[in-house]
Amino acid sequence: MPVEHRVLEIEEIEIRASGESQEQRFVSGVGIVYNKEVEIWPGFREKIRNGAFSDTLKSGAEVKSFFNHDPNQVLATTKSNPALTIEDTDKGMRFEAPIPPTTYGKDLEINLDRKNVRGASFSFSVDDEGDIVTRDEKGVYHREIVKATIYEIGPVTNPAYPQTKVGLRSAEESYNEIQNRYKESENVVDTSDIELRKKSLYLLERGL
């Protein structure tokens, strides 16, 4: 499955200091909220079930944290020193990333101090048969992600801006893929159902 990107506004993101000199600072927040359906694209709503990423996290696969969804602005990974830490709960996925002493790290600290950081981004792919898609009477697609692989999670300065570029483009691609997949499933003919109907018609014609 393709890698998908989401950029969402979150309620709270924090900065804290650690160590004897308090020099090492961390950014933390709940980057993914579980069991909450949100509109990803007009006519397309999505929610992520708690535990969807548990296999990835248990496997020890490396997860990265970027600032502003930029792979050139790496904050940390789960294999760094100091490392990105992830806490997976029933309510959501919380991340805490050490802020490196770089130019973009300082930019992040300033924006955090000024309360300019209001969102989080994450990248993932849905495993085979890892989602459930339905369509309601209004034609809106509802997708529940039940099993997926997480690759990256981190803070964004303004969730509205990167959404217009990365997040919305990915959401549109996801919507098109879901729409095509659903249409294909509607066009699939169940041959066992045809044989059952033929048998029922045969018995009906003979009064059996």
> Which tens digit of pLDDT belongs to each residue from 17-71?
875 556 789 999 999 999 999 888 888 999 999 999 999 999 999 999 999 889 9
37-43: long-range pairs with CB below 8 Å, 24+: 37/142, 38/8, 40/6, 40/171, 40/174, 40/175, 41/168, 41/171, 41/172, 41/174, 41/175, 43/139, 43/140, 43/141, 43/175
Task: State the pLDDT confidence band at 204, using cuts at 50, 70 and 90.
Answer: low
Could you tell me which residues come within 8 angstroms of residue 116 by beta carbon, excluding any fewer than 6 positions away? 157, 158
Range of the domain at 136: 4-205
Question: What is the pTM for the complete model shown?
Answer: 0.80
Could you tell me which residues come within 8 angstroms of residue 173 by beta carbon, excluding any fewer than 6 positions away? 2, 4
Structure confidence by residue, pLDDT tens digits, 56-86: 999 999 999 999 889 999 999 999 999 999 9
pLDDT of amino acid 18: 72
Structure confidence by residue, pLDDT tens digits, 108-146: 999 898 888 888 999 999 999 999 999 899 989 999 999
Structural domain count, the chain: 1
